[in-house]
Amino acid sequence: MSTIDLWAKEGYLSTPDGNSIYFWGFAKSEAGPAQLPGPHIIARQGETITVNLHNTLPEPVSLSFTGQRGVLADGNPVGPQHQNDQLVSFVNHAEPGDSITYTFTPSHPGTFMYESGTYPHKQVPMGLYGGLVVRPIDYNPDIQEYKTVYGYGTDTEYDREYLLITGEIDPNLHQAVKEELPYHTGSYLPRYWTLNGRCAPDTMFPDNLDYLPHQPYGSMVMGQPGERILMRYIGAGVSNHPLHPHGNHARVVGRDGRLLRNGSGDISFKRFTVLVGAGQTYDLIYRWDGLGYSPENPIPTTLPDRRNMGIGDAGWTMWSGSPYLGRKGDIPVEVVSYNEFGEYYFMLHSHEELQITNWGEFPGGMMTWVAIYPSLSPDVGTLL
Amino acid sequence: MALITRIFQVAAETLSLPDRNVPFWGFSDVLFNKPQNPGPLIEATTGDLISIWLVRNFLQPVGEPLSILFPGQENVWARKIFSEPLVYEPVKPQYSSGVMMSLTNYLDENNSFDISIDYIFAANRPGIFLYESGTNPEKQIQMGLYGVIVVRPVGNSIFGHPNYKTAYGAGTGSSYDVEKILVLSEIDSGMHDNVEPGVYYDMLKFKPDFWVINGRSFPDSINDDNTSSQPYGSKIECRVGERVLLRIINAGFQNHTFHLGGFTGRVVAEDSFPLVAAEMDATYEKTGITLGSGQSVDLILTPETPGRFYLYDREYHHLVNNNVFPGGMMTVIDVRE
């Protein structure tokens, strides 16, 4: 039985345009920084998990585990909470300075989320959310047929996995919370759109950077040709986002933590854009074997469009300068290339393009890359 | 097969929202004589003929041409008393001097011969369907001119019939113990305040401030059905293990992502097309579902534990009345042992 401690705390987010935004998040330890999204919780089907929530914020906070059955709070079934006859929380909460213990036993594998169930119009946009991954009961990462999203024989094997959690930030409402001013949802106007709590280009940087202490998770999706790359999308914000791996297709194998299969009937489907609805999850398996590539034939039949590799007018590119995977070539002198080993890049972004800006400035926001490397360490693309 | 005839009028009334009253336009069943939001529920059985008479309101006209559109229905015919067409003709968009006036045949209050228009169609397939204004729809639908038609399969109410208590007939995974219709929408109170006294309102400024299920915001949504202008409650009551059929339909202009109270439901129909066919079962499970304007789903929940659970728009900033939580597009399911 695994136990996790989460501290609800305040902190400051960094955005690429230099802004610093007050937020509420979950920390892994009492002394640790609040983070956005909260720490990933990795559970296992059929194994009871305990989550201790410690509330250091000035109002009640709770954890709601959508899609989980039989959740207990301090040993009793969770239920709505009221103060002065007004609904405060959908589930039992911890008062400021208090703690509460939730336990549940996931009955299904898949991708889920956890979030505050208290004043959710404020606390969820403020950052009190995170991802919950439930491994199938027969999960074994060392055996290919058992390294799956939904269990042996469900055609959901994968080589690498990535969790991408969407969110939005209205800096004025965050400031209102900081200054204890009224929180007017009617004036809600997001200016930042986040993947794993970061805005592009920070999304493209590695995990656990010293200078982003509150935003530990990067969003780069990396793999090798022919690998099955699992992308778990979670819509944690209050808006829907059409996420789109540029010029590529992915197979949707699960939604809201449920395999898309009825008996022997496979109802998975391919999409190049999925609308990640608020509070909903998608599991997609993506495989790049594109454009005639094979190890024996490393020449792509079609040259990648350079425009798909450049980023705005910033004068930088992810292009290697060569159409051959694993080779680097010449690029114009005024252009800075961030290509490492001749890998290919495909943008993965919200197709609501206002959202790939930081406060209106492109590039930014809900955008990252899918990068196909000629070879890549097996340690890349694992969730701890 | 039966002929279901309803006589509708349009009138202005007042919606009671948690912190204020808002004028609206609604359909009334003339026999009951009070406009309501959503409009009167029309219940039919597959194969029935549905005939809706929209009668001119001489006493309290809203001052606009009026019509009813039936999305999802084929072969809708209309006639008018006492102007063209005098005999039933297929409905079609209406133009005046090359300008579109209406998406369908309408009642013109400027024409003194227009007493009533009646629409008729066969309810050919089961499901849940909207009816709504087809004239100045950007204004009239928001003002409240929408309602729901539910068509149940033959045998739905006959105990022992294979289709007994099913939404789409035997073998469609849609059998249920409890049925609830939830009509989602939103209200821009400032727009209503302007339109009802006849002040021009620029719909580009549309900015809703109330979010409703069956015309009511939380906590009014969980009150029982009554005889007000918002007659339909949204509270769901069931027992552990019962199959609850939620029929959710989005009558508003915005997309809404409806969250199922922490439960995982199985979607059995989209836009009233069942997801089970002879070759495959394409039903799927969800904890919440995004509905575009005009779309509907039917889904089955089976609560396993007693208690009170909240169902709501997962776009959390719609769970407010005048910026204050709790409110808005939210209701409850009470599960008993």
Asked whether the beta carbons of A122 and B325 are under 8 A apart, the reply is yes
Helix and strand numbers, DSSP H then E, in chain A: 2, 30
pLDDT in the model for residue A303: 57
Mutation for B interface: A104, A121, A128, A268, most B CBs within 10 A: A121
**A33-59 pLDDT tens trace:** 999 999 999 999 999 999 999 999 999
pLDDT in the model for residue B279: 85
User: What is the nearest CA distance from B187 to chain A, expressed in angstroms?
Assistant: 13
Q: Using CA coordinates, name the residue in chain A closest to B306.
A: A77
Q: Which of B303, B243, B251, B293 lies closest to B268, judged by CA?
A: B243
Q: Give the residue carrying structure tokens 């369907």.
A: B129
Mutation for B interface: A68, A269, A280, most B CBs within 10 A: A280
pLDDT in the model for residue A1: 66
8 Å CB contact of A256 and B262? no
Asked whether the beta carbons of A162 and A141 are under 8 A apart, the reply is no
Name which of B284, B289, B315 is nearest A239 (Cβ-Cβ).
Answer: B315
Q: Which helix (H) or strand (E) holds B334?
A: strand B330-336
**B212-256 pLDDT tens trace:** 999 999 999 999 999 999 999 999 999 999 999 999 999 999 999
8 Å CB contact of A183 and B323? yes
Residue A263, classified by CB atoms within 10 Å of its CB into exposed (0-12), middle (13-18) or buried (19+), is exposed
Name which of B207, B209, B286 is nearest A256 (Cβ-Cβ).
Answer: B286
Terminal CA-to-CA distance of chain B, rounded, Å? Answer: 39
CA B128 to chain centre: 8
Q: How far apart are CA B150 and CA A85, in angstroms?
A: 36
Asked whether the beta carbons of A166 and A199 are under 8 A apart, the reply is no
Q: Is residue B265 scored above 80 in pLDDT?
A: yes
Flag whether residue B257 sits within 8 Å of chain A, measured between CB atoms.
yes
Q: Using CA coordinates, name the residue in chain A closest to B290.
A: A277
8 Å CB contact of A277 and B289? yes
Rounding to the nearest 10 degrees, give the CA dihedral for residues B8, B12, B16, B17. Answer: 100
**A144-168 pLDDT tens trace:** 999 999 999 999 999 999 999 999 9
Chain A residues lying within 8 Å of B315, measured CB to CB: 238-239, 278
8 Å CB contact of A257 and B280? no
Token pair, residue A244, equals 């789109």
Asked whether the beta carbons of B229 and B34 are under 8 A apart, the reply is yes
Q: What percent of chain A has pLDDT over 70?
A: 94
pLDDT in the model for residue B206: 94
pLDDT grade for A102, boundaries at 50, 70 and 90: very high
Sequence letter at residue B69: L
Flag whether residue B305 sits within 8 Å of chain A, measured between CB atoms.
yes
pLDDT in the model for residue B213: 98
Q: How far apart are CA A145 and CA A151, in angstroms?
A: 9
Sorted by sequence, the CB contacts under 8 Å of residue B75 that are 6+ apart come out as B90, B121, B122
8 Å CB contact of A186 and B209? yes
Sorted by sequence, the CB contacts under 8 Å of residue A378 that are 6+ apart come out as none
What count of other Cβ atoms lies within 10 Å of the Cβ of residue B323?
A: 16
With a cut of 0.90, is the ipTM above it? yes
Q: What DSSP line would sit under B59-92, residue for residue?
A: SS--SS-B--B-TT--S-EEEEESSS-SS-EE--
8 Å CB contact of B325 and A119? yes
Asked whether the beta carbons of A137 and B333 are under 8 A apart, the reply is no
User: What is the nearest CA distance from A239 to chain B, expressed in angstroms?
Assistant: 6
Flag whether residue B282 sits within 8 Å of chain A, measured between CB atoms.
yes
pLDDT in the model for residue B19: 85
Q: Is B207 helix (H, G, I), strand (E, B) or coil?
A: coil
Chain A residues lying within 8 Å of B259, measured CB to CB: 66, 279
Sorted by sequence, the CB contacts under 8 Å of residue B84 that are 6+ apart come out as none
Q: How far apart are CA A186 and CA B187, in angstroms?
A: 13
Name which of B257, B285, B310 is nearest A279 (Cβ-Cβ).
Answer: B257
Residue B75, classified by CB atoms within 10 Å of its CB into exposed (0-12), middle (13-18) or buried (19+), is exposed
Chain A residues lying within 8 Å of B309, measured CB to CB: 80, 90
Q: Is residue A95 scored above 60 in pLDDT?
A: yes
Q: What is the mean pLDDT of residues B273-285?
A: 93
pLDDT grade for B1, boundaries at 50, 70 and 90: confident
Sorted by sequence, the CB contacts under 8 Å of residue A333 that are 6+ apart come out as none
8 Å CB contact of B288 and A267? no
**A226-247 pLDDT tens trace:** 899 999 999 999 999 999 887 6
Domains and CATH numbers, chain A: 2-290+346-372 (2.60.40.420)
CA B12 to chain centre: 18
8 Å CB contact of B314 and A278? yes
pLDDT in the model for residue A253: 97
What count of other Cβ atoms lies within 10 Å of the Cβ of residue A288?
A: 21
Sorted by sequence, the CB contacts under 8 Å of residue B41 that are 6+ apart come out as B147, B148, B149, B150, B181, B232
8 Å CB contact of A124 and B316? yes
pLDDT grade for A301, boundaries at 50, 70 and 90: low
Q: What is the mean pLDDT of residues A163-181?
A: 97
Q: Is residue A314 scored above 70 in pLDDT?
A: no
pLDDT grade for B278, boundaries at 50, 70 and 90: confident
Q: Is residue A273 scored above 60 in pLDDT?
A: yes
Name which of A185, A240, A257 is nearest B317 (Cβ-Cβ).
Answer: A185
pLDDT in the model for residue A299: 62
pLDDT in the model for residue A189: 95
Chain A residues lying within 8 Å of B262, measured CB to CB: 64-68, 90
| Mean per-residue pLDDT of chain A | 92
User: What is the nearest CA distance from A270 to chain B, expressed in angstroms?
Assistant: 15
Of A303 and A342, more confident:
A342
Asked whether the beta carbons of B320 and B268 are under 8 A apart, the reply is no
Q: Give the residue carrying structure tokens 């992502």.
A: B257
User: What is the nearest CA distance from B92 to chain A, expressed in angstroms?
Assistant: 34
Q: Which of B256, B314, B254, B287 lies closest to A282, judged by CA?
A: B287
Q: Give the residue carrying structure tokens 């409402």.
A: A173
Q: Which helix (H) or strand (E) holds B193?
A: helix B189-195
Residues of A with CB under 8 A from a CB of B: 64-70, 77, 79-80, 86-87, 90, 119-122, 124-125, 182-186, 188, 238-240, 255-258, 260, 262-263, 265, 267, 275, 277-280
8 Å CB contact of B286 and A68? no
8 Å CB contact of B262 and A64? yes
Sequence letter at residue A349: H
Chain A residues lying within 8 Å of B314, measured CB to CB: 238, 277-280
**A190-215 pLDDT tens trace:** 999 999 999 999 999 999 999 999 99
Token pair, residue B256, equals 């809404």
Q: Using CA coordinates, name the residue in chain A closest to B328.
A: A121
Q: Is residue B84 scored above 70 in pLDDT?
A: yes
Q: Which residues pair with B297 in a beta bridge?
A: B248, B270
Q: Is residue A16 scored above 90 in pLDDT?
A: yes
Q: What is the mean pLDDT of residues B301-326?
A: 95
Name which of B207, B283, B288 is nearest A280 (Cβ-Cβ).
Answer: B288
**B161-216 pLDDT tens trace:** 999 999 999 999 999 999 999 999 999 999 999 999 999 999 999 999 999 999 99
| Mean per-residue pLDDT of chain B | 95
Q: How far apart are CA A31 and CA A121, in angstroms?
A: 27
Q: How far apart are CA B175 and CA B153, in angstroms?
A: 11
β B89-90/B99-102 pair status:
unpaired
Terminal CA-to-CA distance of chain A, rounded, Å? Answer: 17
Sorted by sequence, the CB contacts under 8 Å of residue B311 that are 6+ apart come out as B182, B236, B258, B259, B260, B261, B330, B331, B332, B333
Name which of B257, B280, B320 is nearest A240 (Cβ-Cβ).
Answer: B257
> What value, to the nearest 5°, has the Cα angle with vertex B292 and ends B275 and B226?
90
For residue A238, CA distances in Å to A59, A190, A280, B125, B331 come to: 21, 10, 11, 35, 18
